[in-house]
Amino acid sequence: MPRPPRADEAAGLYHALNRGNGRQEIFHKSEDFAAFERVLAEGLASYDVTLFCFQLMPNHWHLVLRPNADGELSRFMRWITATHTMRYRAHYRTSGQGHVYQGRFKSFPIQDDAHFLTVCR
């Protein structure tokens, strides 16, 4: 059975997140955080998405963003997680050792200004 469609409308604000498989760390050292930030920058240069803020923690991350075209959130997030996974596996020489991420990213529409400020804080 196919997954239900995800909210992904142009000009909507979304809180997107993903975590390491089994809540394992995906950022082990400061260079891992910097590498993910480079992946984000590359993705933002390639996809029509505006990033308002982000938070990286050792085992997960949060993004607050706005797709500027319908469906662009999913395309951007697919690229971010796939690219980060490939580079992570290459760097740590762990290809074929299971999933890096727990699953597909999660995203939640931001409802109003107060919600936006809470998520960004």
Provide the pLDDT for residue 96: 81
**106: helix, strand or coil:** strand
* pLDDT value of residue 20: 95
Domain count, the chain: 1
Report the candidate in 83, 71, 68, 93 with the shortest Cα–Cα distance to residue 18: 83
- The CATH number linked to 76 is 3.30.70.1290
Is 9 a member of any domain? no
Q: What's the domain range around 38?
A: 14-120
What residues of the chain score a pLDDT lower than 70? 1-5
CB 71 within 8 A of CB 9: no
Q: What pLDDT score does 98 carry?
A: 84
What is residue 7's predicted lDDT score, i.e. its pLDDT? 77
